[in-house]
Structure 1
């Protein structure tokens, strides 16, 4: 019989795989080969959404048709890899698949399987269904799979996340798997494989079948019964741990190591590997290595040179328990080999460089205890090493070794030179097009200002033809950002696309123009952004969109030669004399700045009085813009609004269950203007009522932190109040990236109110190191200024730590970095504000904060009385809190 696509397609759409197979089998081989191109065209032309609308997937039947007509694996593989067929692999009736292959006597099934293996995913492998299908193809073709990352991930996922309710344990599935010996080594060799095991076993434990056995248990069982060679598995484990990976990806191999419980002989065979892991491995891995080396040392089989060499980096690790255990091991070694005690205690002296004072003290006390047994040359070298001791320990070391105390001098923080001037303006249309392309990918406030200024200036300068030549390709290339859609209405980039269209003379979209015109009119008449008739944001970011919309609406209606709001400094500040010159030019040439361009310019003027010359020249202006400028200066500019803290609590239902974000609380801020300055932008910017409940992962300013910071460069508390949710989410939701706003606010001016203080405290406790580094940068800039701020940040940090909103163990390294960078005085002010409430509450991180305070106090020779410190130091016992309190008390009074 002859094959026709209409019949094949009809049966496929009804899910009739046996019917499609029967059509193929009843045809001759010549008919099948002749029908191949028709099948390819039919599959490519099929509706990809049919499976969802018709609730029947034609993909499995199409796959059978491809197999039954393709002339080679090279022709079949691309068709099988099309999404419509690939998604249907698990539903293919493989008995029909094999029947067709046998009828055609295909010798390329193995080749097909290998080609499909090459396209197996290496990320987000959830079920392993694709591998299960390919494994059947390979088996039918008598071929072995290539050992690639995609193959190993699919194989492993299929084993540890099997389908079906009644299945044998993992150990049995592994034992019976035909690819165990070929693919299991790849689990140890490929980075990240342990994460797949971890996520399946621990992260999704509820999805595991009841008969499932965890990976390390299963492998250990196969080793115990001899199916897997113990020596090979141990070597693979050590190699995996030595090459490193993320902690959760290494955990299954650590558990397998512990399950196998290596003997002393096996540990000795890998002694150098364990030594390296102790020195360089992640904390849990180093602990395993230390335990193994200790077992080796207890039997006298650990070479002392290996112990000493390994101990130097180990004694500087941040894990205190591990360091203390290593010091104890070295002390035992000194007792065991007294003739080399000098070398051992010189090694212990490496702990003098540990950042924790209690570790430094432990090493110093131990060396002092054995001082009489040390050779003179070793003692001299240990005395030299003691110069790195910190806090109160240099004085104690000087008394022990008879050396001179070198006074610690805190580095000085250079005065802040102020924000840099704006870069040179964009010179031509080609450069403008290039900058817009970059802007689409990275919306910085500086680039926005340059682009807007250049677009207006080049258009007014009669260079419309140049703009028409270079801007349309940019509009086409980035239509997803620069064109308006339902999801980006009111976005600044969409408004920019409309302004570019106006500048080039292209036909404008009527609906877009009307929406932008309406938004500008409402902002002018009602002083409102957002709400009915306006798609613009009501926050500081909406000011930029409004200004761009104003350009788009008015660009061809009034030949404005320039924008007056373009800042003179990168923080958004505008020099009053520069604005005066611009308005003087406008008056002389007979043009009036656009309304919101002028208002933005006024909001960027520095706070405080200006020179009498500028005031006098401004008073002489007669244009409406000139008179408004003069009145603004005479009134002292924008007064500071009232910023107050507002506590957001999670939403709970009537039974007390949390809806949405489950955190103890989140601090927000309200804003109220202290007076009405008469600007339409001012009213909405200075009025803020945060929602009652915290917002999940707020991201208003995530991609463009410089934009809101440049709206009110001399009232940073306002921007901080609008952005505090983003900063808080860095700590209480472990978000990332929003810390970039903080250094930008630090470069602005104005008092540090509660929003900025709490925002800084939240960012100090951010999960991501880059965000904490941003907090340090901001702190250094603030410390170099004149506004008091550190005490407020310290009080905020203590408050947020009281209920776990901020984890102090995250903040401490950042505080240390700020101290070492020269902000010691400000850090001391922060600590003296944070310590009293933390001491009163007995916070678990208080000892660490006390230790850090001792280092700072010694560096700046601080003398102060900290409430609660004397009481903590007088407590009975030898807890670390008491010890560190005594240490700080001594440093403050000695």
Structure 2
């Protein structure tokens, strides 16, 4: 049978790999080589969408054809690494590929495997299918795999997530693997490899049997039987821990270390490494190192200098249990070596600088107990070290050291940092000046959307097109449509997105097609929005959420770009938060009137929604009153009426629905979620207005909401002077940061803090949820927003405290996450706002069983001392009067004493 592309393509598209194989095997080598260019050209001509939209992916069949016709490894690798074929390696029937290679007597199969292996991805490796494909080629070619991150990740993933449910046990597969000695060291040497193990073995994977042997068990077992050298594995484990990584990526190596159970002599060999781990590593690693060093100390093999040097940073760690153990250990050492007790207790004094008052108190109590036996010089240095004590402890230290006959060393009152006045949002960056620069910004926009970038791109597209730069635009922009077809070209999954609307606008601005279905749909969407006053619904794909305003504006540009042309957009903001200076808008509308053009409808409405809430300057109001065009009169009326009235914003509690068997229908379970609902406070207004200000949440919480993910700036810039509205729309996502442990949404809060408008229940609830987010980056964003709001004039912290008390009462928000964030805000200068929050939240929280209430009381003591506060907190005296010495009672007594001084 003669080789022809139509036959091969038909078989590949039907998934007939045996048929493709027969076609290649029945041809002669000369015919196969002559067919190589046809295969390459045919693959290049295939629509990329075919690889993931067709009923059957033809890429595996194409891959067989590449190996069956290519003249060498370089040409074959170039084609196999194309985007469409690259994702199908795991689906190639390797036995058929090897039959083809054997028939051709290929000497370069191993070289091909190596070329492909070095391009294996170092991220997002799932089950090692791509590694197995390249490994089969290298094995057939008799070559060893390169030791790269992608190779090691794929090799490891293939072990711990075997393809197929009948794979032999992990220990058998690893013991017999020919690459074990070559690639296993990379698991220890390459950062992040532990995460591959954690995600596979400890993740939620129903394909793994419950009895699956875990990675650390297997390595330890192979070490015990002599397949792996113990000294090498232990050294690699300790070295991996000492070089550090993310905590979850170190977990398998901690377990492996414990499974190896190092002897005292082995621990002594790595004593300095353990000391470093105790001082610098994540909590579980530091605890492991502490146990190892204590074992060494018990046998007399740990030098005191090493212990003391490691103890200084260890006593300042946030893991309080570890610090308490270290203090007790040092006390034991001081008793054992009385001649060096002074050095030991000066080391203990490092804990005076710990962030927790109970740790400071424990260290001070221990030092005070042993003061009589210490030399005067040591006592003097210890007294000097007490200057870092906080809360009520400086006064206790002064009394303690005064009782020894020394002068009192009471620390001066803690200085309260002052928040600087808000700097205000920055001005917008300069306008885009050329088609080439616009193309760069569009490419950047596809990769990372932001409100500022969107505004610059839209303004430049309109301005450059109207200025006669159409040839430059036609040269610079259309290649982007080919480069990003999944974003800028309409597909069923992205129809109505702002990026797809932008792609249509680019086509209209450069080489307008005679008939464009996407353009027709956008025209219908714009007309529907104008006539009916809403976006989306009725077959219109634009989002009904606030981000749909951006898509509607881009659609408006695409529809009118070659028709009722205007030389510029009037809604482009003057500041990065979306604010539009009324004087600038006056200048734009004055120009429009003078030149005889009208702003497009939704461009003008967005401009009005971006005007400040404060009354316009007299000269601006007077200038607006002189305008006679429809847009000018609408602008003047907007200024006179005071702009957009605040909507009614109310809290709304959602409860998850349950099955008939009383089980939640979504996971993880959320006891309740507090969101917000909105309704306009007037009838009529702008066409964009009613939909933006109307929000009716569903009765049950939404699982994993991500409506505004990565477009937080777009949301904030729609209504920059009504931040309560944006907070209400995004509140479900912000709540999920705390009750579903999502990440990333906290980026919105600092943007809203820089916006304007009243602070209502939506924004205060959003603040409470984000302060309790699981991810530290989101909590940091909440602290940034807290500081910005605290520097303003509008009170808000008390309302946040009330919401926190409510949400913490049933652990909808974990209070333990909130305390460090509030401590950061206190240290940054927002002490007054933090105190307002605490005094509002504590009365309700004192009656709950939250384990973090003592930490909140401790923070309240620190803030009260810094501010010199003397206010009574309802319920505090009752808790402080309880019998016993629980942490709650101790901290309540401490705060009561501080407030009563």
Q: Secondary structure at the match of 1:343?
A: helix
Alignment of 1:14-93 (within 5 A): 33-38=29-34, 40=36, 86-87=89-90, 92=95
1:542 match: 548
Distance 1:737 1:209, change over 3 A: closer
1:637 match: 643
For residue 799 of structure 1, the aligned residue among 806, 810, 813 is: 806
1:382 match: 382
For residue 607 of structure 2, the aligned residue among 601, 624, 628 is: 601
2:832 match: 825
Measured after TM superposition, the shift of residue 813 of structure 1 is: 2.4
TM-score (norm 1): 0.88
1:737 matched to 2:740: no
CA distance in structure 1 between the partners assigned to 2:241 and 2:152 by the alignment: 19
Q: Secondary structure at the match of 1:668?
A: strand
Distance 1:653 1:472, change over 3 A: farther
Alignment of 1:382-781 (within 5 A): 382-401=382-401, 402-426=408-432, 432=438, 434-457=440-463, 463-464=467-468, 466-470=469-473, 472-478=475-481, 480=485, 481-500=487-506, 506-507=512-513, 509-532=515-538, 534-558=540-564, 560=566, 562-584=568-590, 586=592, 591-611=597-617, 614-615=620-621, 618-619=624-625, 621-660=627-666, 662=668, 663-676=670-683, 678-781=685-788
1:334 match: 334
1:308 matched to 2:308: yes
Q: Which has the larger radius of gyration?
A: 1
Distance 1:639 1:298, change over 3 A: same
1:352 match: 352
Measured after TM superposition, the shift of residue 34 of structure 1 is: 3.2
Contact 2:67/2:101, CA 8 A, preserved across alignment: no
Distance 1:667 1:212, change over 3 A: closer
Distance 1:429 1:343, change over 3 A: same
Distance 1:269 1:870, change over 3 A: same
Measured after TM superposition, the shift of residue 375 of structure 1 is: 1.9
Unmatched runs of 5 consecutive residues or more in structure 1: none
Measured after TM superposition, the shift of residue 850 of structure 1 is: 1.2
Distance 1:429 1:180, change over 3 A: closer
Q: Which moved more, 1:417-426 or 1:279-288?
A: 417-426
Q: Secondary structure at the match of 1:643?
A: strand
2:285 match: 285
Q: Which moved more, 1:560-569 or 1:638-647?
A: 560-569
CA deviation digits over 1:147-205, x for unaligned, max 9? 44455445444444456767765444444444444443333333333333334433256
CA deviation digits over 1:667-712, x for unaligned, max 9? 2211112222532222222211122333333333323322232222
Alignment of 1:249-328 (within 5 A): 249-328=249-328
Q: Secondary structure at the match of 2:249?
A: helix
Measured after TM superposition, the shift of residue 348 of structure 1 is: 0.8
1:366 match: 366
Distance 1:200 1:58, change over 3 A: closer
Measured after TM superposition, the shift of residue 267 of structure 1 is: 1.1
2:195 match: 195
Distance 1:627 1:91, change over 3 A: closer
Measured after TM superposition, the shift of residue 32 of structure 1 is: 5.8
Aligned residue-pair number: 881
CA distance in structure 2 between the partners assigned to 1:551 and 1:296 by the alignment: 73
Contact 1:20/1:65, CA 8 A, preserved across alignment: no
1:214 match: 214
Q: Which moved more, 1:809-818 or 1:612-621?
A: 612-621
1:785 matched to 2:785: no
Q: Which moved more, 1:840-849 or 1:529-538?
A: 529-538
For residue 810 of structure 1, the aligned residue among 814, 817, 842 is: 817
TM-score (norm 2): 0.87
CA distance in structure 2 between the partners assigned to 1:143 and 1:729 by the alignment: 50
CA distance in structure 2 between the partners assigned to 1:591 and 1:11 by the alignment: 59
Q: Which moved more, 1:241-250 or 1:857-866?
A: 241-250
Q: Secondary structure at the match of 1:370?
A: helix
Q: Which moved more, 1:525-534 or 1:338-347?
A: 525-534
Distance 1:364 1:309, change over 3 A: same
CA distance in structure 2 between the partners assigned to 1:556 and 1:144 by the alignment: 61
The two structures, once aligned, show a CA RMSD in angstroms of: 4.0
Measured after TM superposition, the shift of residue 71 of structure 1 is: 7.8
CA distance in structure 2 between the partners assigned to 1:280 and 1:388 by the alignment: 22
Distance 1:455 1:209, change over 3 A: closer
Measured after TM superposition, the shift of residue 421 of structure 1 is: 3.7
Contact 1:457/1:562, CA 8 A, preserved across alignment: yes
CA distance in structure 1 between the partners assigned to 2:102 and 2:464 by the alignment: 71
CA deviation digits over 1:790-845, x for unaligned, max 9? 11111222222233332233222221221112111111111112222221112111
